[in-house]
Structure 1
Amino acid sequence: MPRTSRRNLLFGTAAVSAGALLTACTSNEPRNAAPGTDDAVGNAPADDKPGAPVTIGFAGPQADHGWLNAINENAKRRAEKYSEVTLEITEGSNDTAAQIGQIQTLINKKVDVLVILPADGKALTQVGLQAMKAGIPVINLDRVFASPQAYRCWIGGDNYGMGLNAGRYIGEQLKDKPGAKVVELAGLDNLELTKQRTQGFDDALKNYPNITKVARQAAEFTVESGQAKMAQLLQAQQRFDALWNHDDDQGVGALRAIQQAGRDDFLMVGGAGAKSAMDAIKAGDGVLKATVLYPPTMAASAIDLARALGQKKGVGGMSELEIPASITLYSAVVTKENVDEYLPTGFN
């Protein structure tokens, strides 16, 4: 998952998918999909009309996490919508050297456009530069390269915004409760994204002087770590009013620990937008009341952008002839009131 820069444009709102931001990469008349249909996952293609043939190389990390797997699936499904698009997809790897080799293979194949979600943005900057120098435009997906010269367009999520909106939601729920206490189950602390999510959360809570964050525990974005670290939090904190968990995958484990402890005296907010979390929110019979999106549909939008680049077209709905240099997606809060709108984008 991502490292996000605050300099990126905060672009649009999170509708049914990230693809909604691009409503028509090559057309001014977007096609809307009904919720629950195939097109609702990753939203409708930007333009059904076939254009010039485009070969898109897609290189992502190993899909060893629900969100990462959803990234790959969104890219594949979007490419299948376009008869003129050929998708050359790599196996995916969390090993930097292996992913560099995979991308160099795509460069040697002379694909028209590259979409890259780097395992490590800084470490893969040079191969991004290599592609750009070879005349292959790069869509840098989520984890940003160290140099803007390594990509033509960056599209990704807003980690600071995730924390900010989680904090605002919890703040509004607890604003009338004197001496309210909250705890935080973070992700990997050595990742910049985790620090950004925590910073956003802390900044939001500054607006609610009645609320104090009494504990924070870092997990590892896995079910097992979520369960273990949540159990520690529950043991250490006999009373609190809200929990923000950074990641819905580790949230599965956190919910197991909560159930085993027999606790239901607080509300929980998740992160990312897993289907399991949305199902629990819709059921409304547990502590999980909301999740803050980090939309994997950004991969579908990256394919739209790559297709537009390959066909030398801009983004419909915008006056400019070229696609933007960067797009930061909005971190919407999914609650019982709006879950049906977002449920089609939930990932396993």
Structure 2
Amino acid sequence: MSEKVGRRGFLLGGAVVGAGALVSACTSNEPAAQPSSPASAPAAAASGGNDQPGQKVTIGFSAPAADHGWIAAIAKNAEATAKQYSDVTFTPVEPTNDINQQISAVESLIQQKVNVLVLLPNDGEQLNQVARRAMDAGIPVVNLDRIFPDKLSYRTWIGGDNYGMGVAAGHYIGAKLKEKGVSNPVIVEIQGIATLPLTQDRSKGFADALKSYGFSVTAKQDAQFTVETGTEVASNLLQAHSKIDALWNHDDDQGVGVLAAIKEAGRNEFFMVGGAGSANAMREIQSGSSVLEATVTYSPTMASSAIKLARLIAQNKGMSDLVENQVPQSITLASETITKENVEQYLPLGFES
């Protein structure tokens, strides 16, 4: 998400597990054994080294204020992962939604000469220059989620796949409607903030996936990523459509309000897909008695992984599952679909809205 909108959260325990999914097997870059034949594939780096104590590093961290469950979990995950390492000093600055205050906070980290900086900007464009100053000062920046427009302003970017969220939701809905033999379905979409590129990417992915089944969105309306706006928008759409076949809500935080409106209206003729992967959404799915059947992930485990990547970069190490000696320049996390069949696997990673 490359915008200054507070986003969703994650349980502390999920920080450790989720981060491990990406970089748990990272190792030091000791020379691998030479292949016995010129035709052999390159040998992987030796395993088991990177989680052992190494060069001491200080990781600076800055993120927006925790005005949503998702963004609250970003900070929790980052801190929890940093505490796993005896060689890491974690130096967070006060979270804020004020652009100028965040710029000042990052400047203070530059002045402290931290070894590496993990930065989730309120706005990637407006914090681009201060991130560039960090890079010019020799401090690698791990750009988390909301991307800086200038690639010279960050060493590595890690974030979610907004387009992929829409694709995952569209495939779930399209496949289920086809299986049920529904023709000309009424498909409703509740967005976040329509003017944001992240929202537009989600909607485009959704439309593209639906198109492959011969379907399209009947009606869509934007909310504001809050419970209150979720309730209001869902109520309006329910009143406007006496029959709905499927509904995709972009965000599980505002989904609390969407579900409240649905229950208040007594509607259950359709099924619903959520977005982000909150714990309350997973519990609804697990119950088997809700219209909410699935949610597609945009996981704040990315903060845990960002800390792990920052540590490796500061220690001049790479990732053991890759042949290359250095951490990649960008990593896009997949959007996964959570249903009743696999919800128990994901529930420990859910964040509270």
- TM-score between the two structures when normalised by the length of structure 2: 0.88
Specify the alignment match of 1:24 in structure 2. Answer: 25
- Report deviation, 1:92: 1.1
Q: Distance in 1 between matches of 2:294 and 2:196?
A: 24
**Alignment pair present for 1:323 and 2:330:** no
Find the partner of 1:83 among 86, 91, 110: 86
Q: Secondary structure at the match of 2:149?
A: coil
Residue-by-residue CA offset, 1:11-34 (whole Å, 9 max, x unaligned): xxxxx6254122323369xxxxxx
Secondary structure of 2:217's partner?
strand
Q: Which residue of 2 aligns with 1:245?
A: 249
Q: Give the distance between the partners of 2:70 and 2:100, measured in 1 at CA.
A: 22
Q: Which of 281, 295, 302 is the aligned partner of 1:298?
A: 302
Partner of 2:131: 128
**Conserved? CA contact 1:243–1:268, under 8 Å:** yes
Q: Pick from 307, 310, 316 the counterpart of residue 314 of structure 2.
A: 310
Q: Please say if 1:204 is aligned against 2:205.
A: no
CA RMSD, aligned part only?
Answer: 1.5
Counterpart CA distance in 1 for 2:20 and 2:128 is 26
Superimposed CA distance per residue, residues 111-170 of structure 1 (whole angstroms, 9 cap, x where no aligned partner): 000000000001110011000000000000000001000000000000000001100110
1:121 partner letter:
G
CA distance in 2, matches of 1:2, 1:262: 37
The equivalent position to 1:149 in structure 2, one of 146, 149, 152, is 152
Whether the 8 Å contact between 1:227 and 1:256 is mirrored in structure 2 is yes
Q: Assess if the C-alpha contact under 8 Å between 2:207 and 2:216 holds in 1.
A: no
Aligned mates of 2:216, 2:61 — CA distance in 1: 44
Equivalent residue in structure 2 for 1:182, among 187, 191, 210: 187
Given the two structures, how large is their TM-score scaled by the length of structure 1?
Answer: 0.89
2:105 maps to amino acid: Q
Q: Which amino acid aligns with 2:197?
A: E
Q: Please give the residue correspondences for 1:34-73 in structure 2 after superposition, counting only pairs within 5 Å.
A: 47-73=50-76
Identity of aligned residues (%): 55
Corresponding residue number in structure 2 for 1:166: 169
Answer yes or no: is the 8 Å Cα contact 2:28–2:317 preserved in 1: no
Partners of 1:18 and 1:329 within 8 A in 2: no
User: 1 CA distance for matches of 2:338 and 2:263?
Assistant: 22
CA drift of 1:63 comes to 0.8
Structure 2, unmatched stretches of 5+, are: 4-16, 30-47
Q: Distance in 2 between matches of 1:275 and 1:73?
A: 16
Kept after mapping to 2: 8 A contact 1:269/1:292: yes
1:260 equivalent among 256, 264, 276: 264
Aligned residue type for 1:282:
Q
Separation in structure 1 between the aligned mates of residue 108 and residue 325 of structure 2, nearest angstrom: 31
Residue 282 of structure 2 is matched in structure 1 by: 278
1:269 Cα offset (Å) = 0.3
Secondary structure of the residue aligned to 1:49 is coil
Residue identity in the other structure for 2:194? D
Does the 8 A contact of 1:58 with 1:90 survive in 2?
A: yes
Structure 1 position 80, deviation (Å): 0.7
Q: Distance in 1 between matches of 2:234 and 2:192?
A: 12
Partner Cα separation in structure 1 for residue 273 and residue 167 of structure 2? 12
* Partner of residue 137, structure 1: 140
Q: Which whole-Å deviations, capped at 9, do the CAs of 1:75-106 have from their partners, x for residues lacking one? A: 01100111111111111111111100000000
One-letter amino acid of the structure 2 residue matched with residue 63 of structure 1 = A
Give the Å deviation of 1:48: 3.4
Please identify, of 336-345 and 139-148, the stretch whose mean Cα deviation from structure 2 is larger: 336-345
Q: Is the 8 A contact 2:285 2:340 kept in 1?
A: yes
- Determine the C-alpha separation between the residues in 1 that align with 2:21 and 2:232: 38
Match of 1:229 in 2: 233
What is the aligned partner in structure 1 of residue 43 from structure 2?
A: none
Cα drift, residue 191 of structure 1: 1.1
The separation in 1 between residues aligned to 2:348 and 2:154, in whole angstroms, is 30
Amino acid at match of 1:109: Q
**Match for residue 193 of structure 1?**
198
Residues paired across the two proteins, number? 319
CA drift at 1:273: 0.6
Cα offset for 1:212? 3.5
State the one-letter code of the partner of 1:236. Answer: A
Measure, in 2, the Cα distance between the counterparts of 1:88 and 1:18: 19
Contact 1:24–1:317 (8 Å) recurs in 2? yes
Match of 1:341?
Answer: 345
State the secondary structure of the residue aligned to 1:180: coil
Structure 1 portions without partners, runs of 5+: 4-15, 29-44
Distance 1:154 1:128, change over 3 A: same
Summarize the Cα distance change of 1:263–1:195 in structure 2 as closer, same or farther, 3 Å threshold.
same
Aligned to 1:37: none
